[in-house]
Amino acid sequence: MQLCAIPTCRIRNRHLPDCDGECGGCLPRVAEEGLCCDVCVGRAAAALTAIITLTGDARAIAYGEVRRSTGGGSNKPGSRSPGNDDAMDALDAVQSTLTTIARDIAETRGINLHGRSNT
């Protein structure tokens, strides 16, 4: 039996015999396939989906391609706001971090970035 590798993964209201029941749950979930349970995999997938969904809008705002408010401003050509260098740097850092994590996971699991097994 493989337990979920996520340190905070616990079954709500399932406690060890010596627990006073004050915690949310003591017992970790079982990982049926891989190293993480289905609940933690679902949470990670939802978080990555949110990142993917918001990335385009965040980049457009950082590059000054869209206005952030509905009032004021000019619609004249060349009147868009300048890009926000700090925001662009932060987005690049997030992308770099996620790419590094994905490569590390792929290498650890023997998967290349094209989804085929290296073993």
Does 103 reside within a domain? yes
Residue 19 makes CB contacts below 8 A (sequence gap 6+) with 26
Does 51 reside within a domain? yes
pLDDT < 50: residue spans in the chain: 115, 117
Does 52 reside within a domain? yes
pTM over 0.75: no
Number of domains forming the structure of the chain: 1
pLDDT at 84: 83
Does 3 reside within a domain? no
Does 20 reside within a domain? no
**Domain that residue 44 falls in:** 38-109
Does 49 reside within a domain? yes
pLDDT digits (tens, 9 = 90+) for 3-18: 998 888 999 889 989 9
Does 55 reside within a domain? yes
Does 71 reside within a domain? yes
